[in-house]
Amino acid sequence: MFAAKDFIETREGLVFAVVEQGTEQGRVLCFLRYVVNQDGWRKCSTEQANRLLRQSFPEYLFYSQRKDAHLHALPVQCITRHYRPREVLQEILRQRECHPVQRDLQELCQLYRNSGLDLEHLGVTGSLLVGAHNDRSDIDLVVYGRGNFFQARTITRRLLQSNRLQPLTDHHWQQSFQRRACSLTFQEYVWHETRKVNKALVNGRKFDLSLGAENTAEQSIQYRKQGKVTLQAQVTDASLGYDYPAVFRIDHILANVCVCYTATYTGQAIDGERVEIAGFLERGGNGPGRVVVGSSREAGGEYIKVIDG
């Protein structure tokens, strides 16, 4: 089974991040993140990844009828390696001699274990998952199961309060903001992110927590894009707001749900808050539409932000 946050590799040394559980027409929906060759690992930006596939590997581009979108997707038979976050984390935890970023990961996991979190529910993704890390790498932890994820956030808050973890510095926030290249001001970005309590520092190294949701049932309705839209609405249900994709139920005449495919706006709002959403309006059948945020990884011009409580 392929799940979001896994990574997969082809015989050509192309390494993709899986973005959705399961397959569509025998393909795994994913996004090119790294190229491996004799010179080592090269991380790809969105633009670089799209250009490389268009020019050299068009067979890994795919039109998803389910999503009405052009995506990266690997036929299952083209996958030569499957990187699984839980398995790799357990391997790293067993190591005695390891890289500094792996030692920081071990220390972070020990803090969570000592605070009552079962490490069987944790995995590691990003550069550590595939072995592309270096001295400057961040730690990207996946917490499987909603209850475990919210427990991890509660523990993170307590560890910050007891100074066993450190809050992000302005320098780290600036780096995070620039990397996301989102359509919020810096002040808006930090305000939304700080209250999520899913980022902190361990030994001065930044780490992130993300949810690996376990009940990711496929939506049977096929939606079609209607065009860009900006609307304001009240959030009526944010219980799936940390999922991938994040889902926010909203009260609006055009749409009753916002679906977000970019981590920038995961957990962005809570029940009862009024938000402004910029994204693509989609319709499926005769019912209310939905707004999709995250048509690209950076989601330029697309956002979710709280405008009042």
pLDDT of residue 219: 57
Domain count of the fold of the chain: 3
In a domain, 217, yes or no: no
In tens, the pLDDT along 99-124 reads 999 999 999 999 999 999 999 999 99
pLDDT at site 218: 52
* Angle 244-246-248 from CA coordinates, rounded to 5°: 160
pLDDT for residue 98 is more than 70: yes
Query: Is the pLDDT score of 157 beyond 60?
Result: yes
The whole model's pTM is what? 0.91
Judge whether 128 lies within some domain.
Answer: yes
Q: Do 204 and 229 reside in the same domain of the chain? A: no
66 Rama sector, left if φ>0, alpha if ψ -120 to 50, beta otherwise:
alpha
At a CB cut-off of 8 Å and minimum separation 6, what does 243 contact? 211, 213, 216, 266
Report pLDDT for 38.
85
- Give me the percent of the chain exceeding a pLDDT of 70: 95
Q: Residue 216 pLDDT more than 60?
A: no
State which amino acid sits at residue 65: Q
Mean pLDDT of 259-274: 95
Q: Are 63 and 115 in a shared domain?
A: no
What does the pLDDT look like over 268-291, one tens digit per residue?
999 999 999 999 999 877 778 999
Say yes or no: 254 and 158 in one domain.
no
Tokens of residue 30, six digits: 């994913």
**Average pLDDT score over residue span 145-151:** 96
In a domain, 52, yes or no: yes
Range with the poorest average pLDDT among 62-66, 95-99, 148-152: 62-66
CA distances from 104 to 115, 288, 309 (A): 17, 47, 37
CATH number at residue 250: 2.40.50.140
Distance from C-alpha of 270 to C-alpha of 306, rounded to nearest angstrom: 9
The pLDDT score that the predictor gives to residue 70 is 86
pLDDT for the residue numbered 284:
79
Residues 180 and 264: beta-carbon distance below 8 Å: yes
Evaluate whether residue 164 is within a structural domain.
yes
**Residues 166 and 47 reside in one and the same domain:** no
Domain C-terminal end among 26, 53, 83: 83
CA-derived radius of gyration, the chain: 19
The answer to whether residues 198 and 235 belong to one domain is no
- Residue where a domain terminates, one of 157, 186, 212: 212
d(CA 135, CA 75): 34
pLDDT of residue 217 exceeding 60: no
Sheet holding 199-202, edge to edge: 122-125, 139-144, 205-212, 199-202
Average pLDDT for 199-207: 97
Statement: residue 187 has pLDDT above 80: yes
Average pLDDT over residues 136-160: 97
Which of these three, 58, 83, 108, is where a domain ends?
83
pLDDT surpassing 70 at residue 89:
yes
CATH of the domain at 202: 3.30.460
**Do 259 and 244 share a domain, yes or no?**
yes
Each residue's pLDDT tens digit, 32-65: 999 998 888 999 988 899 999 999 999 999 998 8
pLDDT at 112: 98
Percent of the chain with pLDDT over 90: 80
User: Are the C-beta atoms of residues 44 and 55 closer than 8 Å to each other?
Assistant: no
**CA gap 22, 39 in Å, rounded:** 33
Query: Where in the sequence is the domain holding 279, given as residue range(s)?
Result: 224-308
Between these two residues, 291 and 216, which has the higher pLDDT value?
Answer: 291
Residue 44: predicted pLDDT: 92
Nearest to 208 by CA among 126, 130, 90, 85: 126
pLDDT score of 307 = 96
Predicted local confidence at residue 231, as pLDDT: 96
